[in-house]
Structure 1
């Protein structure tokens, strides 16, 4: 039992670094998948855009079952290493192998066989991704119960996350450029490199962290736990905020390679430059927004970031071929907002968990974090599915030769601009509305901690 009436000890730099490293692998793999998996399917494997967009969406049917179950199982896990960290240790290598398997083209030209191969691999990858990433995300409240320390942990986490996204997003296209005559080999080489770099930091996280705040095992039926999570009003706001933010991220990231190649008529290296502008800015702004949030609060930071991001998305809608400098300026503006989408929703979740503990007398980190991870995957699936189906309907031309000189139909080009401008703008505006009404302020959070401390005396 933790005495929250005393000032909790600060975490060491080594602990924060080890914790942050745990999100490097998931960030690398998720970033490569969202930017390059759909183009790999349509431009290298030769899948029709509709089939390609359906694969990730169909694999989420399993995730809808898998994520909450893993969340509950981690709540009930007991070992000398804690209840979250063993999952990270045991799931690391299968997670890496499943990621690598996605970059093979085992049945060239056979649409049906390729569809089923990639669907099975996607199901396996998502299962192992959940097995390592969901317990990792649930570690935050078990490392510290301090309001600002949790924001600091989120800052370290997303420094690694954005750093991994930045490195993979920039270097992956350059690696592919080294294999102009054999894109399949390029994807395999790059996939192998990122597999190693994704797996190793998970072991660092396991060895460098320690769970200090552990509740008793939950005995409520799974259905009842989900009902309690659904009745948590602040949690509903947070998942709405996160879903809007992440859906905007996924839609934009999914469309960027197509937008740059077919609308802006630029080579693959410009995809790397654009990702560098977005993720590099987000990486720097993560530290800026973290400092600002200490002064003005999480909600205000989120609203400011989203406002800047909306300006960038609408600017991309009006952009014309040849306006390369303006494109990079808008990418920098987008990065300012993307940083808040990474930082703020995740730093809100531990506060929501304590709200639930005050209301119910129990802690269910696994259940709450399960839905957050699930929504992250739903955002990815929705982005890939919507873009794939829209491109299919508007006559997008797929190719197995990665031919960037293809001239796409005008309707397909219009679809690319809609998905990079108006659609993300609408979902970001909805997220701002939800953030405006989010009920847990810094003062309210302190009230919750004080009441929990009084109850435990």
Structure 2
């Protein structure tokens, strides 16, 4: 599988965060279509196999387990085929056009097992069509998961696409539960097989229509990458990546926990609460919990850290599963609470797991020199499929061992009832506890990861300089003691003066766009404006700026929520962000080759270790910034205030997604200046005087002068 490039899209990139809302919506419909079949198999296939086809719970669980693990291999097959695709519709979109029909056929066949088959033939029928279903599903879900990063290279837009997908998938699962679960109230009713076949036909038709809508409204505007996943290098990286190995074990245990519960939940609801129709309400309760905690994932990460956030999610899951084991029969309200708590646990752990996975990619590059988003996420995806398969197999094994068979009367206090409680509650709680204990061995905390990111950034800066000059990267280094300020990377040969380089990062309305050119003029070097939207945002374009609604921010907060089939999407987004950051690093270094005053572009991070640089942050109180924006754009006070808030937030988001650093942290700068009570000229003089005081030997090169001083 290849990952997405970040070359500028044909025809020019859209403005930051400005993908049309209808395109975000229609993209999310693709995952609604996915869940018409995927959640049908995840939530109801086990019960269909035992109560309608008549297989034993142990056999049904074994089929469920084997085909889920096979799905991991199917993903790899589909990924390699998709990688070689090139059509007039693009690389990914054709699978949304031609893939739905085969998927629909095998899905309908799976839930249309003929009556009268002997047990062996019934097993063969379901096993065959479930295996074919998993393969056909991979050929849609793999390209669909990659499509978001092919539709836009803007991290804000990509996160909106991912967030909308998470919501749509969750709501589709709830809607499916409302439609299908009541049909399991009486599985001995006349015509029940035909009823399920008709239900699946309707679901398949809806899914085909939604896939076609997604196909028609999506666009592949980001060119494909040229590279492939090297699994040899990936496994080499894995051997040195302790945090990733711990995370994979956490994933196996927690996904096994979750899918034991998923596989037997309907059995439990029907027998213990007394009504299969309650399943839909319980599914909704769990979904609310999942979305709620996922929307607070960034806040949880800031205050608790990722590992502690994961531990908190695991505690919720353990509590919820324990409640399910203990609640009295015939009780809906306690069950609603228990399912909600489980949702908090599942949403919290999934969000943190995907965020931690991104950190392990950085760590793997740091310790091995190998960066492999695609390979790393593929391993995680396969590991999660193993957990799903083991969970389904274990659920069937447990309820079968306690005597569950089709049509058995489940009395409170009976062995069968105890088996259902153990399978739905005790076993998932124990496995979630195991995942939580393993998480204590995950040592990649925020401080360690920040050091890893700083080291990688310095390496990339040194490598880019060395490649540009055709020298070994070691020759770009100088001992920190030699310069006295911790700078270790040379832009010039040792002994030659470095051209003046100043980086500026300013809040909207702090005057950075006016002060930057003044500083450049005084230092005799070029002024380099922001790359990401600054000049555009300085114009009177209120529609662009004021579109960052609370709902859009909510969508972005859900972008890391994870869930079924989201691993490849996360991988392509991470790879795309990394490629964009790498290109920006190269552009920044090229632009300041002969000195310069650079506004934004994450210059303080990229040029942080470069000898002869001064990093400045400009701030001002909000009321003063509002006045300046009003004067410059003619906006009202309320619109100017909103513009300041939005632009600052989006720039911060861009830096966090591309470089995983916070540009608003004062410790990243040599100088932070409040521009509210001084003129722009005074601020410019202050910066220039500071630079000359710090680097008196550095002067702007004469026009046309080369590095060795010759003209």
Give your verdict on TM over 0.5.
yes
Higher relative CO (Cα under 8 Å, sequence separation at least 6) belongs to 1
Indicate the residue corresponding to 1:106 in structure 2. Answer: 114
Partners of 2:254 and 2:432 within 8 A in 1:
yes
Is 1:9 matched with 2:9? no
**Aligned equivalents of 1:404 and 1:394: distance in 2?**
12
Measured against aligned partners, the alpha-carbon deviations of 1:258-287 in whole angstroms (never above 9, x if no partner) come to 22233x150211222222221243344443
**Aligned equivalents of 2:22 and 2:244: distance in 1?**
31
The aligned runs of 1:240-319 (5 Å cut-off) are 240-262=249-271, 264=272, 266-289=274-297, 298-319=306-327
Indicate the residue corresponding to 1:189 in structure 2. Answer: 198
* Deviation, structure 1 residue 53: 1.6
**Aligned equivalents of 1:195 and 1:36: distance in 2?**
16
Q: 1:304 and 1:60, CA in 2 relative to 1: closer, same or farther beyond 3 A? A: closer
Measured against aligned partners, the alpha-carbon deviations of 1:340-363 in whole angstroms (never above 9, x if no partner) come to 345444455566667767866776
The aligned runs of 1:34-183 (5 Å cut-off) are 34-60=42-68, 62-108=70-116, 110-142=118-150, 151-174=159-182, 180-183=189-192
**Aligned equivalents of 1:75 and 1:261: distance in 2?**
44
Which residue, 409, 421, 429 being the options, matches 2:425? Answer: 421
The aligned runs of 1:399-414 (5 Å cut-off) are 403=407, 405=409, 410-414=414-418
Give the TM-score normalised by the residue count of structure 2. 0.55
Indicate the residue corresponding to 1:200 in structure 2. Answer: 209
Give the TM-score normalised by the residue count of structure 1. 0.82
Higher helix proportion: 1
The aligned runs of 1:362-377 (5 Å cut-off) are 365=374, 367-377=375-385
Structure 2: runs of 5 or more not aligned: 461-581, 588-711
Is 1:439 matched with 2:447? no
Partners of 2:97 and 2:211 within 8 A in 1:
yes
When Rg is computed on C-alpha atoms for both structures, the one with the higher figure is 2
* Deviation, structure 1 residue 301: 4.0
Indicate the residue corresponding to 2:341 in structure 1. Answer: 333
SS at structure 2 position matched to 1:10: coil
Measured against aligned partners, the alpha-carbon deviations of 1:30-58 in whole angstroms (never above 9, x if no partner) come to 22222211111111111122222222233
**Aligned equivalents of 2:135 and 2:325: distance in 1?**
36
Q: 1:369 and 1:194, CA in 2 relative to 1: closer, same or farther beyond 3 A? A: farther
Q: 1:271 and 1:415, CA in 2 relative to 1: closer, same or farther beyond 3 A? A: same
How many pairs align? 449
Structure 1: runs of 5 or more not aligned: none
The root-mean-square deviation of aligned C-alpha atoms, in Å, is: 3.8
Partners of 2:237 and 2:370 within 8 A in 1:
no
**Aligned equivalents of 2:345 and 2:383: distance in 1?**
19
SS at structure 2 position matched to 1:108: coil
* Deviation, structure 1 residue 248: 2.4
Q: 1:315 and 1:176, CA in 2 relative to 1: closer, same or farther beyond 3 A? A: closer
